[in-house]
Structure 1
Amino acid sequence: MRRVLFWPSRQYVPEFYCVAAPVLDQDNRMVAAIGIGVTASDFEMNKSNLVREMIRAAQQASRELGWQHSS
């Protein structure tokens, strides 16, 4: 999985963060993304878990589309 993105979206909702990860197809092309939004305090307290779960969910969806993890 290439990367997980997270960013504050304060320009729209104060104290709100978003976390997203790409979903890849069998040709390693990004075809979708999985994301969630959380409060800034939840994000700060659970950042590593949120990132890990985003990667896990995106990898699972990617495998359903034929993506295979390469080292």
Structure 2
Amino acid sequence: MRTEEIVAKALEKTGDDRYLLSNLVFSRVKQLSAGAKPLVDMDLRQNKLSDIAMREIAEGKVSIERIDERNI
């Protein structure tokens, strides 16, 4: 999937709220950098954490309700 498509899907998941999307990505990147396992099949060594977070949001695996859970 192309980057533009991933971002468009992620925006749909946040109700086209770019501010909310950026906060979700930031929060998820913090979790990933602290050792959380990716919820999508992407290698941490070959992909940027922000790309992984965006993909997780686009696929509906991370949402505002789940971001507060520490065990994602």
TM normalised by structure 2 equals 0.32
Higher RCO, 1 vs 2 (CA within 8 Å, ≥6 residues apart) = 2
Q: Higher strand proportion, which one?
A: 1
